[in-house]
Structure 1
């Protein structure tokens, strides 16, 4: 079930954020994520968040700031089960266009977003990590008869 984030979800959501970032970004030192943990914890509730919950446990979440997706995060042990796609489909149904940034070296995520019809619009260097990232966009296609 996908539902709106509640304040009581913060601890679970932050665990998923930290663990999935460390796993997905093995090309960035783990300390980077740990050093940014508190800042993200303070900022996260300011975004629009939706969580994917099953059997009373949050298994993933997506964040939105206007039409920008700061990230989709899924518990490591729950990945490749369609949770990320479900979260993305949920917000695609509610927004006409979306954008995001993804590290070029996060090949699994790049492939996922391209499968989901996101298009690479720009390549740039993330000033914080010095890693190359893609700026990707998606637009809802109108069906013409």
Structure 2
């Protein structure tokens, strides 16, 4: 089930974000992500519209997607639950609400690039991400 974020979801979302970020971005030091935890809690999540995917039986949060207008600022799934359609459901959920979506993804994150292409996103540009110095691809989806 997909529902709007509740304040009580914050600890679980931060845990999912940190765990999945370290795994997906193994080309960036783990300490970088750990240092960003408080920013996620106090700046990024509060400034975005976030939806969570919960397990229908346990009600446990298994993933989330955060938007700032039409920009997907974050989408993260519990690593052990990846590849089970949760990310696809979250993307489909926001596609229903937006005719155009954009996101940034590190060019070394090949699994995510492939996933976004499968969801209909196209590479529309690239830039250097200022905090990490890594190349980030800009991907867009248009209905």
Please give the TM-score of this superposition, normalised by the length of structure 1: 0.95
Task: Provide the alpha-carbon RMSD of the alignment.
Answer: 0.6
Aligned residues of 1:60 and 1:74 also touching (Cα < 8 A): yes
Local SS of the residue matching 1:13: helix
Residue 49 of structure 2 corresponds to 48
Distance in 2, Cα, partners of 1:137 & 1:42: 27
1:136 aligns with 2:131: no
Equivalent residue in structure 1 for 2:62, among 49, 59, 62: 59
Residue 37 of structure 1 corresponds to 37
Q: Tell me, which stretches of 5 or more residues in structure 2 are unaligned?
A: none
1:46 positional shift? 2.2
Please give the TM-score of this superposition, normalised by the length of structure 2: 0.96
1:45 positional shift? 2.3
Q: C-alpha offsets along residues 9-55 of structure 1, whole Å, 9 cap, x if unaligned?
A: 00000000100000000000000000111011112122100000012
Distance in 2, Cα, partners of 1:96 & 1:123: 22
Alignment of 1:1-145 (within 5 A): 1-43=1-43, 44-54=45-55, 55-140=58-143
Distance in 1, Cα, partners of 2:119 & 2:86: 13
Q: Tell me, which stretches of 5 or more residues in structure 1 are unaligned?
A: 141-145
Aligned residues of 1:62 and 1:72 also touching (Cα < 8 A): yes
Aligned residues of 1:119 and 1:137 also touching (Cα < 8 A): yes
